[in-house]
Amino acid sequence: MLNWVNHFGRNAKSPIEIARELNPQWGGILEIDGKYINIQNQTYTIFVAVDYTTNDPFYFHLAEEEDKENTETFLLIIKEVFKYPISAAVSDFGKGRVFIDLFDQIYPGIPHQACVSHFARYVDIRLPKSKKSKYHQLNEYLRLYIKNILYAQSYNDAEEMLVRFNRIEHLFIAKYHKEIIRSLRRNFSLLTRHFFEPDLPRDNNVVENVIQQLNQKLNQMHGFKNPQNAYYFLKLWFCARRFRPFESSQIRHRRKLSSLSLAGVNNLTHKNWLKFSQQKNTVN
C-alpha cells in the first residue's frame, strides 16, 4: 500500500493546484480543526479546512506541531492563496487558544464561533466522573447545567441561565470548578455567536466528520516512514474524498453529489479522481 501511495502521491495535485484548476465556488462559512498524527514516534499536526455549505475539505496542512507559526501559515494560505470568500467561521480553541487569537488577527471583524462540542468535551474531561469523588453530585449538576447553556435554543435563554448561575456559584469550590466556570464566562460570547449570524452552526461537526473518516483510513495505513510519505497519502485521500458522492446524506439534495459538485464544479461524473490527480495542470 505504501509503495502505491508513494508512486501516485508524488505526482498528485496539491489542494492549491486543484483549486486553481477547478475553481470551486464555496459558501463562505469556514470550519477548521486539527488532528495529531504519529510519524516515526514524532507527533505532527494535520490542519484541515472545510467549507461548511458544500462540505468540501478543500485544504490540509501537515505541520510539525500545532503552534502559532504553523497555525498562522495555515490561515494565511486560506486567505491569500485560496482567496476563500469568508463570511464566518467555526473552530475549536486550538492548543493554547491559538485558533481563537490568530483568527481574530488575520480575519478582523469576521464572526467566529467557538465549537460548543469541543467545549462540552473539555468540561466532561475536567470534571471527575467517579461516584467516589468528594464533589460527585456538584460535578454532575455543573456538567448538565453547562450543557444546557451550550445547547440553549436562544441567546436570551443562554444568558439567563448564566445569570441565574450567579446565585449558586459559591457552592462550587473545587479548583477545577472555578477554572471551568471562569472559562465559560470568558468565552461566552464566542460560544454564542451563532445566535447572531444566519446559517452559522454552533459546532464544527462537518470538519470533525471529515477528520473521523480520515482517521479510519490512517489506521489502515499502519504508520508512515517519514512526513513526505504522509503528505503523499494526504494529497490522494483528500482528492478522492472531494470526488466521492454523498450516498447517505441527511440533506436530500446532496445525495449522489460530491463536495466539488456542490461547489459548482461540473462534469465530474465521467472523471476518475486518480487519473485527474495525475494529470498535469495546464491552468496558470
What grid cell was written down for 101? 487569537
- What's this model's pTM, rounded to 2 decimal places? 0.92
Report the pLDDT averaged over residues 132-144: 96
Confidence of residue 282 (pLDDT cuts 50, 70, 90): low
Q: How far apart are CA 142 and CA 149, in angstroms?
A: 11
Instruction: Give which of 36, 5, 48, 39 is closest to 209, Cα–Cα.
Output: 48
Instruction: Give which of 84, 27, 79 is closest to 206, Cα–Cα.
Output: 27
Report the pLDDT averaged over residues 68-84: 97
Report the pLDDT averaged over residues 85-101: 89
What is the DSSP-derived secondary structure letter of residue 170?
Answer: G
Q: What is the pLDDT of residue 250?
A: 60
Q: How far apart are CA 110 and CA 128, in angstroms?
A: 36
How confident is the model over 95-124, as pLDDT tens digits?
Answer: 778 888 899 999 999 999 999 999 999 999
> Residues 28, 35, 251, CA angle at the centre, nearest 5°?
45
| Cβ–Cβ under 8 Å, residues 242 and 260 | yes
Terminal C-alpha separation, the chain: 33
| Cβ–Cβ under 8 Å, residues 10 and 230 | no
State phi, psi for 3 to the nearest 5 degrees: -65, -40
Q: What is the pLDDT of residue 136?
A: 96
Q: Name the least confident of 86-90, 111-115, 185-189, 262-266.
A: 262-266
- CATH number, span 2-114+203-278: 3.30.420.10
Residue 252 has pLDDT above 60, yes or no: no
What is the DSSP-derived secondary structure letter of residue 169?
Answer: G
Instruction: Give which of 185, 226, 172, 203 is closest to 33, Cα–Cα.
Output: 203
Work out the number of other CB atoms within 10 angstroms of the CB of residue 93: 18
Residue 244 has pLDDT above 60, yes or no: yes
How confident is the model over 196-209, as pLDDT tens digits?
Answer: 998 999 999 999 99
Q: What is the pLDDT of residue 3?
A: 81
